[in-house]
Amino acid sequence: MSNSENLLEVVGLKKYFKTPKGMLHAVDDVSFTIGKGKTLGVVGESGCGKSTTGRAILRLLEPTGGKVLFEGEDVARLNTNALRKKRKEMQIIFQDPFSSLNPRKTISQTIEEPLVLHGMIPDKKKRQQRVAELMDTVGLARRLYNTYPHELDGGRRQRVGIARALAVDPKFIVCDEPVSALDVSIQAQILNLMKNLQKEFGLTYLFITHDLSVVYHFSDDIAVMYLGKLIEKASADDLFAAPKHPYTKALLSAIPVPSLHDRGERIIMKGEITSPINPKPACRFEGRCPSAMDCCRAAEPKLVEVAPGHATACFLHSDARQGE
């Protein structure tokens, strides 16, 4: 796990949604830290709560509970005015650049928008100059200044999304599946751009994805989520070399890239998925876990460190029992 000074500390974050059937625990008691200038990858299947976690950190969704300490200040408790100012430092890049861009605005207007919103660079000419520089930074030709989103391909549209996020000089960016909607050939270009920008501007990323091979190459540390719970976290190398949780092992066994590590035989997950609505105090993976024991149905394993810098929530690891 990174030892550098933390930019973000998330403590016991919860986001519940009321549904006709009960309370849906989309994010349930999730805690982690991200060091300055580092990337934490968050992986898991669709519906595991990874995107909700990113949005709750930024308060695009109001957290139900927990703390989000950004440079020591709890974002979850900021009033509207203070939150508006803080948003300059915490930005988001969305999965689908097409639907996240206003089709009626030119790309220069889109990139300029946060500068206007935050009252930065009041002089119009200087602001337009800044927009042109941002386009240079993300590799968008200046001839595209007055084009509309529908005139661009997916990669360029995502570059617009990145320029818009960078416009206000953020320190932290939630990258929510930023390359999932792009062709494979374009994905590498966007990931390289994001890596270079991270180095150049000292950015800290929360990188949300369902793609394990992408997360391995992009992240310093990785957190694995399952049904609203964080069930394993470690450095990217440790997680791939020695996964601890049966769910992580099953996910990794499915990666079709033999060169990463020897994945062994593919583990097919069978059984019933536990409902995240009013969940019982049990392991949420119990219904699909090939190693489930009686204790897994009677209590919920806590996330505990089972090797230096490597934590998991599973009763198979004796240390995890101490968290009961």
Residues that bind ligand SF4 (CB under 6 A): 245-246, 283, 285-286, 289, 291-293, 296, 301, 314-316
Least distance (Å) between residue 247 CB and ligand SF4: 6
Least distance (Å) between residue 323 CB and ligand SF4: 11
Extended beta strands in 82-143, E state: 90-93
Least distance (Å) between residue 60 CB and ligand SF4: 31
Neighbouring C-beta atoms of residue 303, cutoff 10 Å: 22
Listing DSSP states for 172-192 in one string gives EEEEESTTTTS-HHHHHHHHH
Nearer to ligand SF4, 142 or 280 (CB): 280
Nearer to ligand SF4, 162 or 289 (CB): 289
**Exposed (0-12), middle (13-18) or buried (19+): which is 98, by Cβ within 10 Å?**
middle
Nearer to ligand SF4, 41 or 301 (CB): 301
Least distance (Å) between residue 324 CB and ligand SF4: 11
Contact 45, 36 (CB under 8 A): no
Nearer to ligand SF4, 159 or 288 (CB): 288
Query: Which among 278, 324, 275 is positioned nearest to 303, based on CA atoms?
Result: 324
Own/partner long-range contacts of 265-268 (Cβ < 8 Å, ≥24 apart): none
Give dist(CA 22, CA 128) in Å, integer.
Answer: 50
Query: Which among 63, 67, 58 is positioned nearest to 26, based on CA atoms?
Result: 63
Segment (H or E) for 26: strand 22-35
Sheet holding 73-74, edge to edge: 22-35, 6-19, 65-70, 73-74
Nearer to ligand SF4, 185 or 322 (CB): 322
Least distance (Å) between residue 296 CB and ligand SF4: 3
Least distance (Å) between residue 298 CB and ligand SF4: 10
Nearer to ligand SF4, 304 or 316 (CB): 316
Least distance (Å) between residue 322 CB and ligand SF4: 14
Least distance (Å) between residue 282 CB and ligand SF4: 8
Nearer to ligand SF4, 117 or 293 (CB): 293
Structure token digits, residue 16:
């519940």
Give dist(CA 88, CA 84) in Å, integer.
Answer: 7
Contact 225, 42 (CB under 8 A): yes
In the DSSP assignment, the letter for residue 277 is B
Nearer to ligand SF4, 88 or 321 (CB): 321
Query: Which among 175, 301, 293, 182 is positioned nearest to 232, based on CA atoms?
Result: 301
